[in-house]
Structure 1
Amino acid sequence: MRLISRTASAAPARRTRLASVGLTALTTLSALLGGCSQMPSLGSLPTVAGDKVLGLVRPYRVEVVQGNVLTTELVARIKPGMHRNQVRDLLGSPMLTDVFHAERWDYVFTIRRQGAEPQRRQVIAWFDGDQLKSLETPADLPSEKEFIAGINTFKPKGDAPKLELSEAERKALPPPAKPEAAVAEPVGPVRGYPPLESNT
């Protein structure tokens, strides 16, 4: 009899604890669902291209650089009449060549960098046999300084560091020390001889 009465009195306490746990779980779930109603719906999510995901997080984008970096200084060195090998030495190997259009080389450059505008440029070299006939360049081909400024996402405070000496600063530098003449090392095996006997 005592055993039955103990279990009968423990059952209401267990029910009360289960009810309070269930009420806590229900309250937490309703708070979470209420918070979700403040987030944008999946249909109105912004694209990930440059925008923040869900308006909260900006995803990391891998820097993608493809092709040959061509600048106005580099293209100015290319002259009509140059051989294919000379053009390849100056501009690098073309990104696109075609067996059916052997007279055309395409130099395409693309870059996507986080924090900078994506860039795409195309330079076309036309050949007559093995000689360069003409070079088609886009109007927005940058100089070296413009290109570096266009991809530089690090904005230092203050003036940019000085990269070159002026002519007066070069003249003020001490002349370089002349290297000492190197002692000629013997070539081949080195032999050691015993000292000569002295006649004393």
Structure 2
Amino acid sequence: MHVSSVFRLSMLLAACAAVSACSTLNNASGHVVNWVSPYKVEVVQGNFVSKEQKDALQVGMPRAQVKDILGSPLVTSVFHAERWDYVFTISRQGQQPQQRKLTVFFKGDELAKVESDELISEQEFVTSLSTGRSLSKVPVLEVTTDKLPAAVPAGTAPNTGNNATSSAEPPRVYPPLESAVR
């Protein structure tokens, strides 16, 4: 055999080995892909509205009180000023996406009607967020009127919402944000 025929034969064998290695690599990579998957970001959009919040709504409530209970609506429209939409979606890796919707309708400044999907309680929502770790009891996130004096430090009055400063408290003085000389 000549050197050129040996070279051709070795090139042919190398090409055959490369092609067969590609199919073996594809089969192996298919198994690896089943084990390793890319990280999918948890996407939470909108306002979570619980069953308890919906139950607190009453026909005839003013808009401001509805906003205090539900928060700012996700969707408002100039063309539908009498309607607020609250939409909540959550998409998590390894779980089915969830979507819930609540719509409130107003007549003038008063709540006229509420339409919603089946809503879950706050406790059920917290449980659904669990990633397999055990959760302790969810703490109560409100202060009752009998516990309010103990929660407010001595010497300070509870915030009544009227933004009036106490005469006993000296006014706060803050430095200017920008210098006067430029």
Please give the TM-score of this superposition, normalised by the length of structure 1.
0.58
- Which AA in structure 1 matches 2:125? F
User: Are the structure 2 counterparts of residues 92 and 110 from structure 1 closer, same or farther at C-alpha, using a change threshold of 3 Å?
Assistant: same
How much has 1:57 moved relative to structure 2?
A: 3.8
1:25 maps to 14
User: Are the structure 2 counterparts of residues 56 and 31 from structure 1 closer, same or farther at C-alpha, using a change threshold of 3 Å?
Assistant: farther
Q: Quick one: which of 128, 134, 140 aligns to 2:113?
A: 134
User: Are the structure 2 counterparts of residues 56 and 145 from structure 1 closer, same or farther at C-alpha, using a change threshold of 3 Å?
Assistant: same
RMSD: 3.7
**Aligned mates of 2:112, 2:138 — CA distance in 1:** 37
2:78 maps to 99
User: CA contact under 8 A between 1:116 and 1:150: conserved in structure 2?
Assistant: no
How much has 1:132 moved relative to structure 2?
A: 0.8
User: CA contact under 8 A between 2:123 and 2:138: conserved in structure 1?
Assistant: no
- Which deviates the most, 118-127 or 129-138? 129-138
Q: Quick one: which of 117, 121, 128 aligns to 1:150?
A: 128
Confirm or deny that 1:63 pairs with 2:80. Answer: no
Gaps of 5+ in 1: 1-10, 40-51, 166-174, 180-200
How much has 1:163 moved relative to structure 2?
A: 4.7
Percent identical pairs in the alignment equals: 39
Q: Give the 4+ runs in structure 1 shifted more than 3 A.
A: 15-21, 36-39, 52-57, 162-165
User: CA contact under 8 A between 1:113 and 1:151: conserved in structure 2?
Assistant: no
1:111 maps to 90
How much has 1:23 moved relative to structure 2?
A: 5.0
- After TM superposition, the structure 1 = structure 2 runs for residues 178-193 of structure 1, keeping only pairs within 5 Å, are none
How much has 1:150 moved relative to structure 2?
A: 2.1
- Which AA in structure 2 matches 1:30? V
State the Cα deviation string for residues 139-171 of structure 1 (Å, max 9, x = none). Answer: x2100111122232x1126xx434559xxxxxx
- Which AA in structure 2 matches 1:151? L
SS of the aligned residue for 1:105 comes to strand
User: Are the structure 2 counterparts of residues 96 and 164 from structure 1 closer, same or farther at C-alpha, using a change threshold of 3 Å?
Assistant: closer
**Aligned mates of 2:92, 2:38 — CA distance in 1:** 13
**Aligned mates of 1:67, 1:22 — CA distance in 2:** 62
**Aligned mates of 2:114, 2:120 — CA distance in 1:** 16
SS of the aligned residue for 1:73 comes to helix
- CA radius of gyration, larger in: 1
**Aligned mates of 1:141, 1:120 — CA distance in 2:** 10
How much has 1:64 moved relative to structure 2?
A: 1.2
